[in-house]
Amino acid sequence: MIPLNYYLLFAAFLFSVGVVGVLIRRNAIIVFMCIELMLNSVNLTFIAFSAFMGNAIGQMFVFFVMTVAAAEAAVGLAIIIALFRNKKTINIDQINLLKW
């Protein structure tokens, strides 16, 4: 029997790996992938709680999170392509249009 704690701790680990990736990588696409990693760790938490409580609302929430993730990936990658067309780079150190 696997206790609920193990799932939560593993999700916390995945989330932290995602945070490290967002903070140290400079390639915009990999930053994006790390955001997906973080979204997935939260999904795992939702499903673990849903299974251990016997409640379906957690799984419904995961369903909507997936929808949002798909929409976000489509728009985000379009933005990356538009940026690359203009700046010829997706290194986030050189994309500083909004920097104050």
Binding to other proteins, residues 48-87 (CB under 8 A): 48, 50-56, 59-60, 62-64, 66-75, 77-82, 84-87
Write out the binding residues for other proteins, residues 1-30 only, by CB under 8 A.
1-10, 12-21, 23-27, 29-30
CB of 100 to other proteins, least distance (A): 17
**Residue whose CB is less far from other proteins, 54 or 100:** 54
Residue 35 touches other proteins, criterion: CB under 8 A: no
Residue 98 touches other proteins, criterion: CB under 8 A: no
d(CA 49, CA 6): 12
Question: By rule CB under 8 A, what count of residues binds other proteins?
Answer: 71
Helix (H), strand (E), coil (C) string for 14-77: HHHHHHHHHHHCCEHHHHHHHHHHHHHHHHHHHHHHHHHHCCCHHHHHHHHHHHHHHHHHHHHH
Contacts of 98 (CB under 8 A, 6+ apart): none
Residues 11 and 41 sit within 8 Å (Cβ to Cβ): yes
Residue 33 touches other proteins, criterion: CB under 8 A: yes
